[in-house]
Structure 1
Amino acid sequence: MTETGRETAASCSLAASAARPGIRPGIGPVLPAGVRWKVPLRRNGNSRRGSASSYSFDIEGITGPRANTMTESANGKRRLVTGDGAAGEFPHTLPGVRTEVVLFDNSDQMVQSLGSHDEALRFIEEQFPDVNFHVRGNELSISGPATDVPRIMRLLHEVRGLVARGTVISPAVLQQLVALLRTQSLQNPVDVLTHDILSSRGKTIRPKTLNQKNYVDAIDDNTVIFGIGPAGTGKTYLAMAKAVQALQQKEVSRIILTRPAVEAGERLGFLPGTLSDKIDPYLRPLYDALHDMMDPESIPRLMAAGTIEVAPLAYMRGRTLNDAFIILDEAQNTTPEQMKMFLTRLGFGSKMVVTGDVTQVDLPFGTRSGLRIVEEILQGIQGVNFSVLDAADVVRHRLVGDIVNAYSIWDDAQRNRVKHSASREKRGEHA
């Protein structure tokens, strides 16, 4: 064979393709193992997307009378051919490539699983760019690297479980499912994504990550729960959903929502307007969440009756809160004294959830955050739980998670720089 005008052949594993009717295996010489090839595979006309794809793989040196051949022509194009010389169509199995077929019960189940206009299938293709998908009737053939195909099969298994429970499959749901599968937890992802807390106005509120599910379970199992994590992790929203659920199920007789109005110095006296005018801007996020979970027309009535109370933290002093679901939001802006005051308001039949982000403290310089020190004080006390959420649990815009990660890296670098500088000064090595 010469480098031009003739074809160089390398044998490929026949695997599944040898068993397919009409395929006559060919024979070709073997290139040394370790040669890297990129092989385009033409999709059948019934493919959902119809675009060409390719595999990169290492030649394994497989040969014999039942091997397919891969050839490189004079113009540099590589193709998979069968014994009769026809270009190989998907699916053919190459070295290091695995093929699986998913059979759906009917076309409705297939559409529900792959999404409207195949948007779910397109999302999976984007997540696994080296994998080919081929649709024919109610069958979905998947062929690609042996490391990727089992992950996709697991993903589709969970998707079918979600469909069976009535979940609408969208790219957002798939993104949550992929994240759950990456945790390699023993927890069934379907159980996490179908753990409904509350349904209101056509919207179902449920945890979307494993940490969120653990946080919700902790609220069920404990009396005082701390939800600590960055913005967008759902710590306050899920706590409020549990509070509304407890009220609807008559587990408590009222909901109390509170925040430290640290930006106004907690006294609020110098601000213009009535008390309501002064505190509303600081409590607005809690009102917004309530409107998502309850009939907006019922909220003023419940507040007038005292069933729902929204007030600044300063108004908790001296009270004992019985038979209530109490949420303290933005707790990183409490002092240790305020945190102690709040926690000791707990009465019989009540539950407390304290939420905050220790990286966003707005207290005056030099003032310690009550949330930062409370864990070392209360750790180990029965009935008290600390649930930590992180950037992986951010369920807002994708950029929010990236921003949280970037700030976390920057904060760590700053702390290390300060620690290193202090260490050098201690040794008398001034920069």
Structure 2
Amino acid sequence: MTSSTLTPPQVADADHEVLLEFPDNRLLIDLCGEFDRNLAQVEQTLGVQIIRRGNQLAVMGEAREEAGQTLNALYNRLESGREIEPADIEAEIRMGGSGAETGVRDGDQIEMFKGGQVEIKTRKKTVEPRTQAQKAYVTSLFQNELAFGIGPAGTGKTYLAVAVGVSMFLTGQVDRIILSRPAVEAGERLGFLPGDMKDKVDPYMQPLYDALNDFLPSKQVAKLIEDKKIEIAPLAFMRGRTLSNAFVVLDEAQNATTMQMKMFLTRLGEGSRMVITGDRSQVDLPRGVKSGLRDAEDLLNNVKGVSFNYFTSKDVVRHPLVARIIEAYDKADAAK
């Protein structure tokens, strides 16, 4: 299998260009996309110009080297048998097409492709980290018994954690998945909700159900919940338990008090992995109550076996406007 080659920059009409040569014309057609839409996305995002010359692509503009690396990475993706979607192009641009290798132990349900791309296998889909911070986070989830993912909304903290949990469950590395979050309203009072206990707490847990249904067929999710192989419960329900041989996720951890956080962390049992995710900018605790997430950061930062991964607005993988909204709020907070 022959990869594309990134030749040294050449001069054309007094403008510097990067010339890329791709030996497989069929893959080159897929790389360009229908009506060259893939090339157009790279051009628009990086502010470059791309011209096709036979089996070559000439890239011009200040970001020509970065664009060339991105195109090579996308071509390598096609060579490995994977397709290209707009989100994949965005991911390669975010990661600079570098895909530096990350250390992942053999036997984990995580695959490394040419260029260092990481993939997590689940029943319904394959999940790929879309930024360097996400890649480091996923690697950390496989390598550490206790991992923290801290950053703004939309950076994939919970989504990737649940994906890894499902993957480890499917390969028998854990016997069950336990997903939890504090039942705290986001700045509003919802009053007494109707129904039994499940009906009352399910609205708080819905983001966790959404993530599970992305990775497993809905009937299988329902069956696993019925068999207690998957548990979704408020943080308060964890008291007094020992969570062994489980993949445990605490979501929205910024809304846990210091005592709740200590209680939860000490539930970790033999053969288990625990992931704590949170956003320090979205604390919904009463005024004057310290967030357990901040307390855990201060106390556990140098504890062996505990990892901390941080995300910024640059790692937001929802709508691009979300990243700009977060940056605007961050600037406003910094100016106070």
Selected match of 2:120 from 180, 197, 215: 197
Deviation at 1:193, TM superposition (A): 7.2
| Equivalence for 1:387 | 309
Deviation at 1:301, TM superposition (A): 1.5
| Equivalence for 2:185 | 263
| Equivalence for 1:251 | 173
Higher RCO structure, 1 or 2 (CA under 8 Å, sep 6+): 2
Q: 1:192 to 1:158 in 2, by over 3 A?
A: closer
| 1:251-293 Cα shifts (integer Å, max 9, x gaps) | 111111111102299xx99443200110010001111111111
Selected match of 2:283 from 361, 370, 374: 361
CA distance in 2, matches of 1:241, 1:149: 35
Deviation at 1:93, TM superposition (A): 2.6
Q: TM-score, normalised by structure 1?
A: 0.68
Say yes or no: does 1:350 pair with 2:272: yes
CA distance in 2, matches of 1:270, 1:124: 51
Deviation at 1:169, TM superposition (A): 2.5
Larger Rg: 1
Deviation at 1:191, TM superposition (A): 5.7
| 1:144-164 Cα shifts (integer Å, max 9, x gaps) | 35x443333322222221211
Aligned-residue sequence identity (percent) comes to 43
Instruction: Check the 8 A contact 2:163/2:215 in 1, yes or no.
Output: yes
Selected match of 2:32 from 101, 107, 114: 114
| Equivalence for 2:13 | 93
Q: Which stretch has the larger CA shift, 159-168 or 291-300? A: 159-168
| 1:391-412 Cα shifts (integer Å, max 9, x gaps) | 1111100001111111111111
Selected match of 2:68 from 153, 159, 172: 153
Q: Which stretch has the larger CA shift, 114-123 or 369-378? A: 114-123
Unaligned runs of 5+ in 2: 1-8, 103-111
Q: 1:149 to 1:302 in 2, by over 3 A?
A: closer
| Equivalence for 2:106 | none
| Equivalence for 2:52 | 135
Q: TM-score, normalised by structure 2?
A: 0.87
Instruction: Check the 8 A contact 1:165/1:194 in 2, yes or no.
Output: no
Q: How many residues align?
A: 317
CA distance in 1, matches of 2:202, 2:133: 31
CA distance in 2, matches of 1:354, 1:192: 29
CA distance in 1, matches of 2:81, 2:267: 42
Residue identity matched to 1:406? A
CA distance in 2, matches of 1:319, 1:100: 60
Q: 1:171 to 1:364 in 2, by over 3 A?
A: same
SS of equivalent residue, structure 2 residue 78: helix
Instruction: Check the 8 A contact 1:93/1:99 in 2, yes or no.
Output: no
Selected match of 1:398 from 311, 320, 328: 320
CA distance in 2, matches of 1:236, 1:306: 21
Residue identity matched to 1:315? F
Selected match of 1:103 from 14, 21, 29: 21
Unaligned runs of 5+ in 1: 1-14, 18-91, 415-431
CA distance in 2, matches of 1:320, 1:288: 26
RMSD over aligned Cα, in angstroms?
Answer: 2.6
Residue identity matched to 2:239? R
Q: 1:394 to 1:179 in 2, by over 3 A?
A: same
Instruction: Check the 8 A contact 1:114/1:169 in 2, yes or no.
Output: no
Instruction: Check the 8 A contact 1:192/1:208 in 2, yes or no.
Output: no
CA distance in 1, matches of 2:114, 2:160: 17
